[in-house]
Structure 1
Amino acid sequence: MKYTQLGRTGLNVSRLCLGTMNFGPETEEREAFKIMDAALDAGINFFDTANVYGWGENAGRTEEIIGNWFAQGGGRRERTVLATKVNGAMPGYDGPNQKNGLSAYKIRRHLDASLKRLQTDHIELYQMHHVDTSVTWDELWEAFEVQIYNGKIGYVGSSNFAGWHIAKAQEAAKARHFLGLVTEQHKFSLMNRLPELEVLPAAQDYGLGVIAWSPLDGGILGGALNPSPGSRRTANQRERIEKLRPQLTAFSELCSDLGESEANVALAWTLTFPAMTAPIIGPRTLKQFEDTLRVTEIELTEDVLKRLDEIFPGPGGPAPQAYAW
């Protein structure tokens, strides 16, 4: 496994981040334990989750599974760089404040609840799951500062922020002599290259590490034309795959020429961007996890990158001025 620093911090994390969103809804606890053990054995130390995973009435279930895994001991917690999130509504919490959003009130309560479910006393990276423009940065930064000083979190990250949000957040943090954001978790893939225009340049300029979520675009880039037995597709997904068939066919042929799986090429592509810390891999099974381990060893040549640009066009020019003359 290869490692890099988390943004401008001194913390080293693996170039692949284990996403746990399937744990609970799709992957039962025993299989999730196997995947997490295999991740540590493979050198993946960076795990991502969120308080809402499990979804609906089962929100928090994913954190509980991770907590039960930590409780087995064996150095599991000590070897894991743990990231979770706050913003979503949690059933049974907050009374009239039970809605998506951020506040000092919510950050304190939801952090304590996450720590309890995760059976730990600290989280390395606490991420705002979405921006909340109705709250001042003074309120948010003070709330996070308190939790850092109390030792409950190490760093603060964002998710689904625009480049403008990152700039506002960092300038407000600078005025407080506070480190501010160290990461931005963003939807980014060959099928979704818009972040190249402003989000990636802003993150790189402010020293944030980018964590790519849905780097396979919901599985579309993972061999959608040749699904594995038992794969389930909605009518909308099948319609989208048919619409994208020419691109996906060209991509499949390129990957076949390279001797690599489509999923691994798509993941390796994200790692060619200087701002990228790690793409999130979200395996449902141990086999899916094992198939991704060679991603960091794949070297994409300039010719391959040029061909990928032809198949999946980006913003159209050097960012962030690609839209200008």
Structure 2
Amino acid sequence: MPYTRLGRTGLTVSRLVLGTMNFGAITDEQDSGEIMDAALDAGINFFDTADVYGHDRQRDWGTKGATEEIVGRWLGRAGHRDKVVLATKVYGNWGDWPNSGGLSARHIRTACEDSLRRLGTDHIDLYQMHHIDRRVPWEEIWQAMDLLVAQGKVLYVGSSNFAGWHIARAQEAAARRSSLGLVAEQCLYNLAQRAAEAEVLPAAQAYGLGVITWSPLYGGLLGGVLAKERAGDRHRSATGRAASELARRREQIQAYEQLCAELGTPPGDVALAWLLTRPEVTAPIVGPRTRAQLDAALRAVRVELEDATLAELDRLFPGQGAAPESFAW
């Protein structure tokens, strides 16, 4: 497993991130533990979760917080905590009562204490704001985050689903406080959804943020959805976002799967390998439901895409490029 630094920090992380969103909601605790064991054995040291993970909205099954609890019990096994760079998130709403969500100083403090308890640890390596909260001034947010850092409960602060200008405002506010500020942005970015190239990736690069990308297979759309469809496997790969996108982009996906067939490489491996070629990307998140899916993701680290292949992928999935050139001239 190759490693890299997380943005401008001295923190070393694996080039793949183990996403745990399915743990507790879809994958039971025993299988989740086996996946985490296998990920650590393979050299993945970067685990990502969130305080609200554990509830499957589609099936209305599971409970918020269950994923952190599963990860926490696994971490409790001897030696695991010191090996893992642990990332979780704050923002999600925990009820109808005021102050049960968002990024107020009160909720950040409460949510952090709750996550520490569920995770069974005394510190969070990367505490990420799961979404922008337009109601809260940055001075309040950084006051709360800086206190957690000073207390040793949080080591680094990150963002998720921020626009480029949100990153800029956050960093400028942190600079006024002489704070380290954000060290990573977690965003939607893959071959089929390249909007982040306009402003999010340039902002992250300018401010020295690592970039962690979620949904590398775009809900299954880039994971061989047409081949699975022909084989009669319609599980997830043909539901939700993937289904609606497939109806609109079937010809494009067909050409992509044909290219992968000519390469002799599974489509999911190509999609992950492409992300690993992007200079702005620290690591994509892989969120396996099964051990087999983790093994498939690990293959991508060994896939090398030639320049001609990268050019063809750009032709099939053209990016809009960085702003303002992408729209101004």
Q: What's the TM-score bracket when you normalise by the shorter of the two chains?
A: over 0.9
In structure 2, stretches of 5+ residues that fail to align are none
2:53 corresponding residue in structure 1: 53
Superposed displacement of residue 261, structure 1:
1.1
Report the Cα distance in structure 1 between the residues aligned to 2:303 and 2:142, rounded to whole angstroms: 39
Q: 3-state DSSP class of the match of 1:323?
A: helix
Identity across the alignment (%):
56
Give the alignment's TM-score, normalised by structure 2.
Answer: 0.93
SS, match of residue 265 in structure 2? coil
User: 2:109 maps to which residue?
Assistant: 108
* Equivalences for residues 300-319 of structure 1 within 5 A: 300-315=305-320, 317-319=321-323
How far residue 319 of structure 1 moved from its aligned partner, in angstroms, is: 4.6
Q: Could you say which residue in structure 2 is the equivalent of 1:155?
A: 156
The equivalent of 1:241 in structure 2 is 246
Tell me which residue corresponds to 1:10: 10
Separation in 2 of the partners of 1:30 and 1:91? 29
Q: 2:87 aligns with which of 83, 88, 95?
A: 83
Q: Could you say which residue in structure 2 is the equivalent of 1:33?
A: 33
CA contact (8 A) 2:220 2:242 kept: no
Q: Distance in 1 between matches of 2:310 and 2:292?
A: 28
Closer/same/farther in 2, CA of residues 292 and 115 from structure 1, 3 Å limit:
same
In structure 2, C-alpha distance between the alignment counterparts of 1:9 and 1:237, rounded to whole Å: 35
Determine which of 273, 278, 294 is the counterpart of 2:299: 294
Amino acid at match of 2:42: A
The secondary structure found in structure 1 opposite 2:326 is coil
> Residue deviations 1:83-113, cap 9 Å, x none?
0000001248xx3212x41111001100000
How big is the shift at 1:192?
Answer: 0.7
Contact kept in structure 1, 2:218 and 2:242, CA below 8 Å: no
**Bigger shift: 233-242 or 291-300?**
233-242
- Give how far 1:236 is off: 6.8
| Structure 1 spans left out of the alignment, 5+ residues | none
Distance 1:167 1:147 in 2: 22
Query: Which amino acid in the other structure matches residue 142 of structure 1?
Result: Q
Deviation at 1:15, TM superposition (A): 0.3
Letter in 1 for 2:98: P
Alignment partner, residue 97 of structure 1 = 99
1:179-258 counterparts in 2 under 5 A?
A: 179-227=180-228, 229=233, 231-232=235-236, 233-234=238-239, 237-258=242-263
- Range with greater deviation from structure 2 (279-288 or 289-298): 289-298
Q: Measure how far apart 1:240 and its partner are.
A: 3.3
Distance apart, 1:230 and its partner CA:
6.6
2:288 alignment partner in structure 1: 283
- 1:204–1:274 Cα contact (<8 Å) kept: no
Distance 1:30 1:179, change over 3 A: same
Partner Cα distance (2:136, 2:144) in 1? 12
Q: Distance in 1 between matches of 2:71 and 2:324?
A: 39
Deviation at 1:72, TM superposition (A): 2.4
Using the alignment, how far apart are the partners of 1:110 and 1:250 within structure 2? 45
Distance (Å, rounded) in 1 between the aligned partners of 2:139 and 2:190: 33
Q: Look up the SS of the partner of 1:141 in the other structure.
A: helix
2:120, 2:7 → 1: CA distance?
A: 27
> Is the CA contact (8 Å cut-off) linking 1:53 and 1:61 kept in structure 2?
yes
DSSP 3-state at the match of 1:35: helix
The number of residues matched between the two structures is 320
Distance 2:46 2:185 in 1: 15
* Map of 2:142 onto structure 1: 141
CA deviations on 1:226-270 (whole Å, 9 max, x unpaired) are: 227472443774453233221111111111122211111111111
Tell me by how many angstroms 1:320 deviates: 4.7
Q: After superposition, where does 1:261-272 map in structure 2 within 5 Å?
A: 261-272=266-277
**What whole-Å deviation, never above 9, does each CA across 1:278-321 have from its counterpart, x for those lacking one?**
00000000011011112222222221111111111110x45552
Q: Report what 1:321 is aligned to.
A: 325
Whether the aligned pair in 2 keeps the contact of 1:197 and 1:321 (CA below 8 Å) is no
Of residues 32-41 and 55-64 in structure 1, the stretch that sits farther from structure 2 once superposed is 55-64
Q: What amino acid is the match of 2:171?
A: Q
Instruction: Give the TM-score normalised by structure 1.
Output: 0.94
Report if aligned partners of 2:159, 2:185 keep a CA contact under 8 Å in 1: yes
Deviation of 1:126 after TM superposition, in Å, equals 0.1
SS of the residue 1:24 aligns to: coil
Structure 1 outlier segments of 4+, above 4 Å: 317-320
